[in-house]
Amino acid sequence: MKRIVALAGGVGAARFLEGLARVVPPEKIFIVVNTGDDACFHNLHIAPDLDTITYTLAGVADRRRGWGITGDSFRCLQGLGRLGAETWFQLGDRDLATHLYRTERLRQGSTLSQVTAEISLALGVRATIVPMTDSPVRTQVRTRRETLDFQTYFVRRRARDVVQGVSFRGARQARPAPGVIEAIREASGVVICPSNPILSIGPILAVPGIGEALRKTAAPVASISPLVAGRALKGPAARMMKSLGLVASALGVAKLYREFASVFVLDCADQGQARRIEALGLKAVVTNTIMSGWREKKALARIVLESLR
């Protein structure tokens, strides 16, 4: 079965994939998810992007907050606070089950791929969700003063620091999760979801072998700009691109992907950049990329699919 492979971060990717799973059979979607954001809290293995993708496709994601499970409560977290433990990383009670289960299965010797498959099966997700790697890769952010773990930068310090560098600890020794390289090689098309190119797609590309597979695959590779009019709909992508000396625009993102992408999907607001993107050797597709509802999500998915033909 020819599948569509998607490289995904968290919320932005999840919204796009929701639409995609309505316009193609979900069984045909193979999603490679960033795990550079993974972290350990209270001895639990937290995998924020895997959970966001899984919960969204399972229909249980909290859309308003952008993380966790809808209608979740926080009694355990309140209890931890009462005991004087750290509570800056929010853990919902229902969400905790996922972390406890994942942590226990990993300690028993399962791989992250296996556990991810078990969780998505249990929650009724029909698309295939795999971590980019089963090895530990941890995104670190360098500010003027120090190097921060991703979640410390992102959650605890609310992404306020000026980022001077980003690195992916453990990436060099990491191997792509089972099936990732084959899936890219045999894909009918590859989609780089509208995620932060540095923090979400960056770690995936840092896993040795994945970039090469993208360059070598016969499948067309379409990327979707996460920036609209120079701003990210969510998260620090634009500000971070600037502080890293990149241009925070659709064009700036297109430059990061031109090595392996053949199509670049950008928002109508940025149509003025289409010609310069085409000049990079990419086919520019201008459309509405703001996925405010089901109609927009499905329309964007259809246009991306079309561009992969």
> By the criterion CB under 8 A, which residues form the site for a copy of itself?
42-44, 69, 72-73, 75-80, 82-85, 93-98, 100-101, 103-104, 107, 118-119, 122-123
Cα distances (Å, whole numbers) of residue 218 to 10, 58, 207, 214, 261: 27, 31, 20, 9, 11
Q: CA-to-CA distance for 47 and 267, rounded, in angstroms?
A: 30
Cα distances from 144 to residues 110, 152, 203, 236, 309, in angstroms, run: 39, 15, 22, 17, 45
Name the 3-class secondary structure at 202: helix
**Min separation Cβ 222 and a copy of itself, Å:** 34
Taking the complex as a whole, the smallest distance from the CB of residue 70 to a copy of itself amounts, in Å, to 12
CB closer to a copy of itself out of 15 and 102? 102
Residue closer to a copy of itself, measured from CB, 24 or 44? 44
CB 305 within 8 A of CB 24: yes
Least distance from C-beta 163 to a copy of itself, angstroms? 29
CB of 108 to a copy of itself, least distance (A): 9
Triad 29, 293, 48: Cα angle to 5°: 55
Helix 48-58 vs helix 11-23: crossing angle, to nearest 10: 30
b/e map 20-45, b = 16+ CB within 10 Å: bbeebeeebbbbbbbbbbbbebbebb
**Shortest spacing between CB 154 and a copy of itself, in angstroms:** 22
Considering the complex, state which of residue 23 and residue 58 has its C-beta at the smaller distance from a copy of itself: 58
Residue 119 or 238 with smaller CB distance to a copy of itself: 119
The structure tokens listed for 275 are 């010609």
- Taking the complex as a whole, the smallest distance from the CB of residue 169 to a copy of itself amounts, in Å, to 21
Amino acid identity of residue 178, one-letter, is P
| Residues in contact with 273: Cβ distance below 8 Å, sequence separation at least 6, in sequence order | 249, 250, 251, 254, 266, 284
Of 101 and 296, the one with the shorter C-beta distance to a copy of itself is: 101
Rank residues 81 and 165 by Cβ distance to a copy of itself and give the closer one: 81
Measured distance CA(175)–CA(133) in Å, rounded: 6
Minimal distance, residue 104 CB to a copy of itself, in Å: 5
| CB of 155 closer than 8 Å to CB of 234 | no
Nearer Cβ to a copy of itself (79/165): 79
CB of 95 to a copy of itself, least distance (A): 8
In the complex with a copy of itself, the residue whose CB is nearer, 101 or 244, is: 101
Q: 257 by DSSP, 3-state: which?
A: helix
